[in-house]
Amino acid sequence: MDGLFTHSLLVVTGKGGVGKSTVAAALGLAAARRGLRALVVEVSARDDVSSALGARGPHGASAERAVSERLHHISIDPQSAMEDYLREQLPVGVFAGLLSRSRLFTTLTAATPGMRELLTIGKVWELAGHEGRDRYDLVVLDAPATGHGLAMLQAPSTFASVARVGPVAKQGRAIASFLGDPRRTAVLAVSTGEEMPVSETLELRAQLQEQMGLDLALVVVNAVLPRRFTERDRRALQAAPSSPARHAALFWAAWASHQRAQIDRLRRGLQGVALVTLPFVFQSALDPAALERLSRGLEL
Amino acid sequence: MSVAARLKGKRICICTGSGGVGKTTTAAAVAMGLAARGQRVAVVTIDPARRLAGALGLEQLGNEPRLVDPDHFARQGLELRGELWAMMLDVKRTFDELIELLAPDQGTRDEILANRVYRELSSAVAGSQEFTAMAKLYELDASGRFDAIVLDTPPSRNALDFLDAPQRLTGFLEGRALRVLLAPTGAAAAIAARGSGLVFSALRRVTGVDLLTELGTFFRVLGGVVDGFAERASAVGQLLGDPATTFLIVSSLEPAPVAEAVFFRRRLQEAGLPFGGLVVNRVRVLARNPPPVDEAALTADLDGDGDLAARSLQALDDLRALARRDAAGLRRLAAEIDDRQPILVPQLDRDVSDLAGLVAVERFLFVSRRQRPALLAERAF
């Protein structure tokens, strides 16, 4: 686990609904607690992470906001990422001319397949491996769900191969090599002890290996129930007459044992990939204190 | 009201909600329930659990619905009076089929299918599942083969992607303008040279010539199917607004899916699209008049194992705490979504990923209003 925080970029992905954003935020907190300057990046228009972290201040497109002294948060929007990119690439006069035709650029981003993914991951690369290196030691990307997350990671090399030459090709290759370097980028999968998330995690690993030559650096299994009942307990409960407590205990035992079976399947399929579990949280909305507790589970 | 009552007179049922809330399961159980009641139903799933896919016979390739063997259901004690057809959406293939269908001639078709931007980028990006799901829905409905079609929607984190699918179709059309700019010929070249020389040279500078050329070709050849796409987009838009179409919003009671469900309800309203009801999965149900807890009696029932009794009571306490949290969340969600009688599916003690699980879910979806309290009480804490 120690090695995790020596990377420049942690990409957190997994099936929808498993708690990716929570894990991304918790990783940001854990990194900041170690004295690293960390940035948590969200790529959709939602603000789950920043509200759970308790971020304050104006929240606009692609603005970095301070959560604490060493922890920042940003929500990337492809349109402003495109403008930033053009501003860097072009002389001032040309840039102004382009902005006056900004509709064309909106259209171009919307119509070119993969452009949104490329611009978003390009911005992440800038923050993690390029110009942001002076400001942040670690960038944690709360990536889109599995399939789309993988498409985002592949966008730079795909564009580089289509473009062949020119700035997009050159940068596409630079970003792809950054993402493909296991010393700088670590890909993490979040799962729960349920069949679908476990299967998706195993498939993600196979696809990462096959399509990008990468492996998962860590798998985080979220919302794991405490083990309360043994097999013997279960038999004793089954023999007892019906009551609400018996019903609850048997339900709990079946739920937890199903989780364990799925986690075992995950462990067997992962061979060699580190796996940590986070406990089931009984409160409904995560506040900074609950997040802080979870983040300690990621320190080990 | 049960799902059956809510879907009366509907030909198309679109299940929507955020990822991980059991949309696919709900869609499959709705379709199965309709088939049990005599309809010929097609369910289009996006990414079913492997065992569920196996149970529905979806592991065979093909982008067409296949008849699910009724014996499978009979073994689970469910008789299908109608037929259940199931398919898993193949995004790339649906895309290709659409191009083949809409291309005016063989040459255009081949050129699009061979274009690198199309080949490498089209099917992997955000929105392409939404786009192709809509196209497939339209095709199946137009075929007239089914009494009802149930569509599972992609796990887009942002529901907007899905509702915007028809507009996205036309988003490609905007490429028409880009085409003139990127690969100008004839009169267009003259205009481009006058008006957009600056933009063009800036673009070339940013992207490189090859990418620009590929993009130019992409938009030019896609121009050949523009009219077909436009027609298709407006037909899909009409289909979504048809009185025979309805949207079910599927959610759990976790904060993020709830926020998404509320947001989606608002979007449906804004778009003037029909809302058929709320299905809430994985609910922990609170018993109405639970008997008082008697630890001594429980200990006696467990042959004097006081420790096991204490742990059982702790489990009961925890599950009741979750049930109270769910009840409060449900009240808020029902009020915000304006469905005072959402359909509840209790959390089962394992994943629903086989036919037995589907049959269990189907009971909760289709139970009559009168019998529902008794059915839910069986699972209450």
Higher-confidence residue of A106 and B92: namely B92
Neighbours of B8 (CB within 10 A): 9
Indicate if the pLDDT at residue B176 is higher than 80.
no
B45 reaches A (C-beta below 8 A): no
pLDDT digits 0-9 by tens, B78-137: 999 999 999 998 888 888 888 888 888 898 889 888 888 788 776 655 567 777 888 899
A35-49, A98-112, B95-109, B300-314: the lowest-pLDDT one: A98-112
Give the nearest partner residue to A248 out of B155, B325, B381, using CB atoms: B381
**A104 confidence band (pLDDT: 50, 70, 90):** low
d(CA A262, CA A265): 5
Per-range mean pLDDT, top range of A2-6, B63-67, B199-203: B63-67
Indicate if the pLDDT at residue B289 is higher than 70.
yes
Q: B349 lies in a domain?
A: yes
Q: Do B125 and A197 touch (CB under 8 A)?
A: no
**B187 confidence band (pLDDT: 50, 70, 90):** very low
A183-197, A215-229, B260-274, B311-325: the lowest-pLDDT one: B260-274
Indicate if the pLDDT at residue B146 is higher than 60.
yes
Q: What is the pLDDT of residue B195?
A: 46
SS3 B345: strand
Cβ A281 vs Cβ A290: under 8 Å: yes
SS3 A278: strand
Indicate if the pLDDT at residue B285 is higher than 90.
yes
Cβ B285 vs Cβ B346: under 8 Å: yes
| Mean local confidence (pLDDT), A229-236 | 96
Q: B30 lies in a domain?
A: yes
Q: Determine the residue among B18, B118, B122, B125 to mutate to test chain A binding: the one whose Cβ has the most chain A Cβ atoms within 10 Å.
A: B125
Half-sphere exposure of residue A87: CA atoms within 13 angstroms, side-chain side: 7
Q: B78 lies in a domain?
A: yes
pLDDT > 70 in chain A, percent = 84
d(CA B243, CA B151): 16
Q: What is the pLDDT of residue A96?
A: 61
Q: Is the dihedral of CA A282, A288, A289, A292 positive or negative?
A: positive
pLDDT > 70 in chain B, percent = 83
d(CA B195, CA B264): 41
**Set of chain B residues whose Cβ sits within 8 Å of the Cβ of A233:** 308, 311
Tokens found for residue B292: 């008082």
d(CA B40, CA B31): 9
| Mean local confidence (pLDDT), B54-82 | 86
Contacting B residues, span 189-218, partner chain A, CB-CB under 8 Å: 196, 198-199, 202-203, 205-211, 214-215, 218
The model's pTM is: 0.87
d(CA B122, CA B99): 12
A96 reaches B (C-beta below 8 A): no
d(CA B30, CA B278): 13
pLDDT digits 0-9 by tens, A170-208: 889 999 999 999 999 999 999 999 988 999 999 999 999
Neighbours of B213 (CB within 10 A): 16
Indicate if the pLDDT at residue B158 is higher than 70.
no
d(CA B276, CA B2): 11
Q: B56 lies in a domain?
A: yes
Q: Which residues pair with A221 in a beta bridge?
A: A191, A277
Indicate if the pLDDT at residue B192 is higher than 50.
no
Q: Determine the residue among B89, B229, B308 to mutate to test chain A binding: the one whose Cβ has the most chain A Cβ atoms within 10 Å.
A: B308
Which residue bears the tokens 């009961």?
B316
Q: B161 lies in a domain?
A: yes
Q: Do B257 and A17 touch (CB under 8 A)?
A: yes
| Mean local confidence (pLDDT), A157-181 | 88
d(CA B375, CA A188): 41
Q: Can you list the domains of chain A with their CATH numbers?
A: 2-228+273-297 (3.40.50.300)
- The residue range of the domain holding B135 is 3-94+127-169+230-377
Give the nearest partner residue to A158 out of B18, B120, B291, using CB atoms: B120
pLDDT digits 0-9 by tens, B345-363: 999 877 777 888 899 999 9
CA distances from A134 to A36, A56, A131, A143, B55 (A): 12, 23, 7, 23, 54
Q: How far is CA B367 from the centre of its chain?
A: 23
Q: B103 lies in a domain?
A: no
A20 reaches B (C-beta below 8 A): no
Neighbours of B106 (CB within 10 A): 9
Contacts of B333-337 with CB under 8 Å at 24 or more apart are: B333/B251, B333/B253, B333/B258, B333/B261, B333/B262, B333/B278, B333/B280, B334/B278, B336/B262, B336/B265, B337/B249, B337/B261, B337/B262, B337/B265, B337/B278
Residue in chain A lying closest to B215 (CA):
A112
| Mean local confidence (pLDDT), B176-197 | 50
In chain B, the number of structural domains is 1
Strands (E), chain B: 12-16, 40-45, 66-67, 83-88, 148-152, 245-251, 275-283, 343-346
CA distances from A106 to A101, A109, B182, B217 (A): 9, 5, 15, 19
Higher-confidence residue of A113 and B104: namely B104
A274-288, B18-32, B159-173: the lowest-pLDDT one: B159-173
**Set of chain A residues whose Cβ sits within 8 Å of the Cβ of B312:** 237, 245-246, 248-249
Indicate if the pLDDT at residue A75 is higher than 70.
yes
Dihedral angle over CA of B114, B119, B120, B124, nearest 10: 180
Indicate if the pLDDT at residue B165 is higher than 60.
no
Half-sphere exposure of residue B49: CA atoms within 13 angstroms, side-chain side: 24
Cβ A223 vs Cβ A278: under 8 Å: yes
CATH number of the structural domain spanning residue B29: 3.40.50.300
Q: Do B298 and A245 touch (CB under 8 A)?
A: yes
Q: What is the pLDDT of residue A167?
A: 80
Indicate if the pLDDT at residue B67 is higher than 90.
yes
B90-94, B217-221, B281-285, B369-373: the lowest-pLDDT one: B217-221
Return the closest-CA partner of residue B140 out of B99, B105, B89, B100.
B89
Cβ B197 vs Cβ B261: under 8 Å: no
Q: What is the pLDDT of residue A284?
A: 66
CA–CA min distance B349, chain A (Å)? 5
Indicate if the pLDDT at residue B245 is higher than 60.
yes
Q: What is the pLDDT of residue A218?
A: 96
Neighbours of A128 (CB within 10 A): 27
CA–CA min distance A144, chain B (Å)? 8
Q: B118 lies in a domain?
A: no
A209 reaches B (C-beta below 8 A): no
Q: What is the pLDDT of residue B221?
A: 73
**B184 confidence band (pLDDT: 50, 70, 90):** very low
d(CA A177, CA A297): 31
Structure letter (DSSP) for residue B63: S
**Set of chain A residues whose Cβ sits within 8 Å of the Cβ of B28:** none
Return the closest-CA partner of residue B299 out of A245, A232, A235.
A245
d(CA B196, CA A98): 10
Cβ A79 vs Cβ A61: under 8 Å: yes
d(CA B68, CA A250): 34
CA distances from B223 to A96, B175, B196 (A): 30, 7, 20
pLDDT digits 0-9 by tens, A26-62: 999 999 999 999 999 998 655 555 556 665 544 445 6
Return the closest-CA partner of residue B101 out of B66, B142, B40.
B142
Q: What is the mean pLDDT of chain B?
A: 83
Q: Determine the residue among A42, A284, A291 to mutate to test chain B binding: the one whose Cβ has the most chain B Cβ atoms within 10 Å.
A: A284
d(CA B290, CA A245): 11
Concatenated DSSP letters of B183-237: S--HHHHHHHHHHSHHHHHHHHHHH-HHHHHHHHHHHHHHHTTHHHHHHHHHHHH
CA–CA min distance B268, chain A (Å)? 19
A174 reaches B (C-beta below 8 A): no
Higher-confidence residue of B224 and A75: namely A75
Which residue bears the tokens 């942690």?
A10
d(CA B325, CA B75): 37
Q: B121 lies in a domain?
A: no
Return the closest-CA partner of residue B172 out of B239, B247, B82, B232.
B232
Q: Residue A19 region, left (φ>0) first, then alpha (ψ -120 to 50), else beta?
A: left
No. of helices (H) and no. of strands (E), chain A: 12, 8
Q: Determine the residue among A112, A190, A207, A257 to mutate to test chain B binding: the one whose Cβ has the most chain B Cβ atoms within 10 Å.
A: A112
Tokens found for residue B175: 């490429």
pLDDT digits 0-9 by tens, A240-288: 999 999 999 999 999 999 999 999 999 999 998 999 999 998 876 678 8
